[in-house]
Structure formats: C-alpha cells, structure tokens
Amino acid sequence: MYISGIIVAFSAVVATFVLRRYLVRREKLVLFSRDKITDQEIYDRYYKRSTLDKDSVLFVWHGIATCLKVDPGLLRPTDEFGKAIGKNWLTNDVLEGLEQYARDRMKALGRKVDLSDIKTVDDFVKAFA
C-alpha cells in the first residue's frame, strides 16, 4: 500500500513535468514560428503614426526582448505578458528583470508608471519610450 502511494505520487510528478515541458515547447514554437520583422518594420507598422521617437521605441522594444530572452523581431505589440508570451516559461527571474528594466526606465524618464497597467508589449513601449 505504501509503495503504491509512492509510485502514484512519483507518476504524478513525472506527468506534471512532462506536461509542463510540452506546454513550454508548444508556446515557444508559436512564438518562434512567426516571421521575423526588422526594426524598421516594427516602427513603420506599429508606431510611425504615433508621437513616439523611433530610437526610443526601438530601445525599449529591444530591452523587452532582452529581458524575455527572445529575438526582438518575433515580438508583436499585442503580445500579452504571461499570456501570448511566457504563459508557461516566464520565470520569476525573467519577470524581475523586466520589472527592473521598467523601474530603470521610470528613473531615466522621471516618470511614475503603475506597472499593473502594463499588460502588453505595446503598453510597455508607450509607457517607457
């Protein structure tokens, strides 16, 4: 009885591990299967009509990509943190790095931003570019 309980518990742990790896891989495949876009395309498609400076937009865009450890050309403004990107693979270290980057940008810009309002890549760019 005791051994069968251990086997069931061990099996559950293994199944959870395998499922998590599958979900992480599937999520990354969706992200990495996108067509890469250039910096110029990022700005032209999404921010050219805004009042945001191109260099600032790309600086922040690349900062986000660096924190998330992904190619900047794979990100899209509508990507939601913890949903479209990183639902199954954002670790506390990655999130803390992104939060620290946001705090550094606030300090550099002399702005206060409620980080709980930032849900997407676009929100982040508009807040800190």
Sequence spans of domains, the chain: 1-33, 35-128
Q: What is the DSSP string of 43-112?
A: HHHHTTTSS--HHHHHHHHHHHHHHHTS-GGG--TTPBEEETEETTT--HHHHHHHHHHHHHHHHHHT--
Mean pLDDT of 51-77: 94
Mean pLDDT of 30-51: 90
The pTM score is 0.73
- Decide if pLDDT at 113 tops 90: yes
- Decide if pLDDT at 77 tops 70: yes
- Quick one: what percent of the chain has pLDDT higher than 90? 53
- Decide if pLDDT at 124 tops 50: yes
CATH 1.10.10 assigned to 35-128: no
